[in-house]
Amino acid sequence: MNAQGRPSRPDNIAATDAPTFTGNKALQIEEDLIFEVGDFAGTGVDFPEPDGAPSRLGGLERDAPIGLPGLSEPETMRHYVRLSQKNYAIDMGPFPLGSCTMKHNPRLNEKVARLPGFADLHPLTPEAQAQGALEVIDVLSTWLKELTGMPAVAMSPKAGAHGELCGMMSIKAALEARGEAATRTRVLAPESAHGTNPATAVQCGFTVDEIPADKTGRVDLAALKDMLGPDVAGIMVTNPNTCGLFERDIRAIAEAVHDAGGYFYCDGANFNAIAGKVKPGDLGVDAMHINLHKTFSTPHGGGGPGSGPTVLSEALAPFAPVPYVVREGERHTLVETRRAAKEEGESAKSFGRLTAFHGQMGMFTRALSYMMSHGVDGVRQAAEDAVLNANYVQARLKSEMTPAFDGYCMHEALFDDRFLKDTGVETIDFAKAMIDEGYHPMTMYFPLVVHGAMLIEPTESESKRELDQFCDALLSLAKRAKAGEADAFKAAPVHAPRRRLDETAAARKPVLRWTPPIPAEAAE
């Protein structure tokens, strides 16, 4: 006992991996499937029995139990809160996923998004009563057009991939208007492209050819020129690219594609590195999506909600999807149909509608609040700091790890697995060991052009203290790998609620459906 009468620590405690009766490990609570937790008879609500009113279902009444788990409200709530606490989140620690730009989501954004005038607005609210919301869309559009140097923007796409679809559908519509949709069927994309690029092109009916990379990790301009021809609809190029490098030949690339009669789709997922510094419109881009959930700090993870406004060049603007906001003096109107778009301008040839409504309003308010609280100079500084942080990480780690390419990087530092050669440790083991250290691993095995890739994007929102601790942890792991601790790496993670999964079985034979256990009497 200490002076306050509280028990002091006994001397004889040893760290053990003691199994527990419940399977819980202190506050890490085991969580079964909700179907396994509840029984099927229970319910969390108490409705009175129906008073014998005759059924009007004509014999279609369910004759077997519905099979929903029956839990009380607190049981249900605890189940989902426990599950939610198994997630790693940007609010818990650094989230260095390259290409994903997992930056801090400022709380000011949340406050603005929760203002009842925005939060409670129904998408079918009459225009006259939604002028403020339409103005938000209009002002945000103006910022996006200004920052990208592009004349038009489609606000409705609901993610980056959806923005790609919007851009490629605009290109398809433009080719149709030129009478060349049947002949221009090829889209070119670099080997290092994000998977959504070729997937989008194929979805739009194009075939995709890979543009090889040069030694520096960038598009091989000469090879690209050789691939161009009258059958090319366009290219899809990310800049800065997924190796974290600026495509220095970007204007020559755009010019070559335009000379060949194609369009330039730029994947703008990495806009965070150049926002406020470079205007994609000056680089010859025809269409580019902007992931508001990356560059403009709206939340993501757990599948959404994303938002992927797509800026369009003069050549593609007439094909933009409906709806969009137009402003006349103080009044904002929503152009909802292709016919209305035609009346709006002779040349408008909208390809139609991508989504039910005007886009992700909650993300628009958050993104605009981020932009307005930072100002253009703040947005530019965020880009500069993101690049500085990535170069700091690259510089600190390169004594033990191997950067994939020489020289400075943009907003993400790419390493390959040469430093693990002959250690018996692979990229995946390194990632699992990071989990034990309390870090979400960086992006692993992407881009595919780099062997055993590890793509680290610290973002501008990590402090030097956080970066140092992260780098120290990685340096220590790299040293341990080289010191012959392969077995420990193969066993990792040891401190996570689940140990290493059988990744192959999980991918090849996933169990996606819960089936009730056979009751004992039926099994007999």
Ligand X SMILES: *Cc1c(COP(=O)(O)O)cnc(C)c1O
Applying CB under 6 A, the residues found at the interface with ligand X are: 99-100, 159-161, 194, 196, 238, 242, 267, 269, 291, 306, 308
333 - beta bridge partners? 326
Shortest Å, Cβ 449 to ligand X: 13
Residue type, 5: G
Residue 91 phi, psi dihedral angles, 5° rounding: -80, -5
Looking at the Cβ atoms of 280 and 308, the one nearer to ligand X is: 308
Residue of 180, 195, 163 lying closest to 263 (CA atoms): 180
Looking at the Cβ atoms of 194 and 332, the one nearer to ligand X is: 194
Shortest Å, Cβ 184 to ligand X: 23
Residue 306 phi, psi dihedral angles, 5° rounding: -90, 180
3-state SS class at 18? coil
Looking at the Cβ atoms of 186 and 293, the one nearer to ligand X is: 293
Alpha-carbon distance of 409 to 139, in angstroms, equals: 33
Shortest Å, Cβ 427 to ligand X: 19
Shortest Å, Cβ 159 to ligand X: 4
Shortest Å, Cβ 241 to ligand X: 8
First vs last Cα of the chain: how many Å apart? Answer: 58
Shortest Å, Cβ 31 to ligand X: 27
Pairing state of beta strands 287-289 and 263-267?
A: parallel
- Cis peptide leading into residue 323 (ω within 30°): yes
Looking at the Cβ atoms of 159 and 387, the one nearer to ligand X is: 159
Residue type, 224: L
Angle at 420 (CA atoms; ends 414, 424), nearest 5 degrees? 140
Looking at the Cβ atoms of 213 and 433, the one nearer to ligand X is: 213
266 - beta bridge partners? 237, 288
**What are the CB-based long-range contacts (under 8 Å, 24+) for 300-305?**
300/100, 300/102, 301/87, 301/89, 301/90, 301/95, 301/102, 302/87, 304/158, 304/159, 305/158, 305/360, 305/362, 305/363
C-beta atoms surrounding 44 within 10 Å:
14
Residue of 352, 348, 347, 349 lying closest to 336 (CA atoms): 352
Looking at the Cβ atoms of 130 and 387, the one nearer to ligand X is: 387
List of residues 6+ apart from 336 with CB closer than 8 A: 322, 323
Looking at the Cβ atoms of 310 and 389, the one nearer to ligand X is: 310
Helix, strand, coil share of the chain (percent; to 5): 35, 10, 50
Query: By beta-carbon distance, which residue lies closest to ligand X?
Result: 160
Shortest Å, Cβ 265 to ligand X: 11
Shortest Å, Cβ 222 to ligand X: 24
Looking at the Cβ atoms of 211 and 478, the one nearer to ligand X is: 211
Residue 102, burial from CB neighbour count under 10 angstroms (0-12, 13-18, 19+) = buried
Are 446 and 193 a contacting pair, CB within 8 Å? no
Shortest Å, Cβ 103 to ligand X: 13
Looking at the Cβ atoms of 161 and 386, the one nearer to ligand X is: 161
List of residues 6+ apart from 359 with CB closer than 8 A: 137, 155, 156, 157, 158, 307, 309
Are 490 and 427 a contacting pair, CB within 8 Å? no
Which helix (H) or strand (E) segment is 237 a member of? strand 232-238
Shortest Å, Cβ 145 to ligand X: 20
Local structure of residue 297 (DSSP, 8 states): -
Shortest Å, Cβ 160 to ligand X: 2
Shortest Å, Cβ 174 to ligand X: 22
Shortest Å, Cβ 491 to ligand X: 32
